[in-house]
Amino acid sequence: MKIATFNINNINRRLPNLLRWLRAAKPDVVTLQELKSTDDDFPASAIGKAGYGAVWRGQKTWNGVGILARGADPVLIRTELPGDPDDREARYIEAAVNGIIVSGIYLPNGNPQPGPKFDYKLEWFRRLRSHTAKFIKQEMPVVLAGDFNVAPTELDIYPTRSWDNDALIQPKSRAAFKSLLAQGWCDSIRTLHPSKPMYTFWDYKRNRWARDAGLRLDHLLLSPVLAPRLIKAGVDRKIRAEDSASDHAPAWVVLK
């Protein structure tokens, strides 16, 4: 079973890129972030013709998350992260696919920091940990897949000082991610690639793709029940080099 996560950065603008990748990579499950589409404008027909069922929660202009399943319809569980009824941002979706619970995550960026946007990021992390603790306690087969907007360690960002003030690498951001892992989650890509950067994001500015000036922001975390099934993990870097590409590349795992 191949599970992937892809920050598509505007699904309608990048639809040809997405469909080409789906045909080539054949993932069984995909979580998508930054749809930048309303619910009504989600390209369900084109994705259906490509052989994928879908659930999604859109938001005009910003955010938006979805889950695709090859040859199946994901069974929608929830479209928001519990803990704050006033949070209207489309950043979380959860569905059951082939006996596994898939959580699609688009964690807040948090910039500029310090400030209310960074506070929102840390609070969102706290709510996520509260929710995911239930999965661990109940020993459920779960994958947390998405753009966490955190480069967890120095290995996860190219050598630079230019991001030192960015919310993506702040000690509090990294501590929040580490605290999530401490519940028992397996960072699948880092587990199988302990010494390679495995970047998933290259900013459009300053020629960063050509310079391989990347960050690892997109993660697939496996619950203790699923972790023993992990056999492969990687990043489809070449997708970032395409015309009209997202600034992210898909990350993926294969489970027995």
Q: What is the pLDDT of residues 126-166, one digit of tens each?
A: 999 999 999 999 999 999 999 999 999 999 999 999 999 99
Chain position carrying tokens 């596994």: 100
195-205 pLDDT, tens digit each: 999 999 999 99
Residue whose C-alpha is closest to residue 200's, from 231, 239, 144: 239
Contacts 24+ apart (CB under 8 A), 13-17: 13/244, 14/244, 14/245, 14/246, 15/43, 15/46, 16/244, 17/239, 17/242, 17/244, 17/245, 17/246
Asked if residues 93 and 55 have their Cβ atoms less than 8 Å apart, the reply is: yes
Tell me the mean pLDDT in the region 242-256. 98
Amino acid letter at 8? I
Helix (H) or strand (E) segment spanning residue 77: strand 75-78
d(CA 136, CA 177): 16
CA-CA distances (angstroms) from residue 163 to 16, 149, 154, 196, 213? 32, 13, 11, 20, 11
Structure token pair of residue 12: 């309608």
pTM of the model: 0.98
pLDDT tens-digit map of 54-88 = 999 999 999 999 999 999 999 999 999 999 999 99
pLDDT at 1: 98
Domains of the chain with CATH codes = 2-255 (3.60.10.10)
Q: Cβ distance 5 to 148 under 8 Å?
A: no
Residue 251 pLDDT level (bands cut at 50, 70, 90): very high
Token pair for residue 226? 């699923």
pLDDT of residue 137: 98
Of residues 239, 235, 234, 240, the one with CA closest to residue 209: 240
Compute the distance between CA of residue 25 and CA of residue 4 in angstroms, rounded to an integer: 10
Segment 12-36 mean pLDDT: 98
pLDDT in tens, 203-247: 999 999 999 999 999 999 999 999 999 999 999 999 999 999 999
